[in-house]
Amino acid sequence: MSEYRTERVGRLIQEKIGGLIVGGKIKDPRVHPFLSITRVSVSRDFAWAEVYVSSCKPKENLLKGIAGLQSAAGFIQSQLAGQMHIRQTPRLRFHEDPGIREGFALIQKIENLSSGED
């Protein structure tokens, strides 16, 4: 039961942070709407949440965005506390997830292979 609850809280945190990014609530200029929260892993005691961020933009933009999110972590956590009904809001740590960028690179390679055969 506890594992199900941590997964549910993780999905809710993912949704709420994504909404803050898309809604432009995070005023740090490094945080752009092309950042995507791919997954959130919450510790069993709800003390920490590991937030994985990806983007289709170049890696340096992603790293700047992650730094911006980490800088705004206190603000994001306070927003989560106001929107979620849990006793303890986890502290946030943001990490790079290269998945989206790697997916775009793979699609480019496939398109280059298929256009080279014509």
At residue 108, the pLDDT reads: 87
Cα dihedral sign, 28-14-101-74: positive
- Rounded CA gap, 68 and 32, in Å? 9
At residue 12, the pLDDT reads: 95
- Rounded CA gap, 110 and 17, in Å? 33
User: Would you say 40 and 49 are in contact if contact means Cβ atoms under 8 Å apart?
Assistant: yes
User: pLDDT truncated to tens, each residue of the chain (118 aa)?
Assistant: 478 889 999 999 999 999 999 999 999 999 999 899 999 999 999 999 999 999 888 889 999 999 999 999 999 999 999 998 888 899 999 999 988 878 888 888 998 888 875 4
How far is residue 102 from each of residues 76, 97, 98, 106, 109, measured CA to CA in Å?
27, 10, 6, 6, 11
Report the number of distinct structural domains present in the chain. Answer: 1
What are phi and psi for residue 47, nearest 5 degrees?
-80, -35
pTM of the model: 0.84
At residue 56, the pLDDT reads: 83
Domain that holds residue 31: 2-116
Supply the CATH number for residue 106's domain. 3.30.300.20
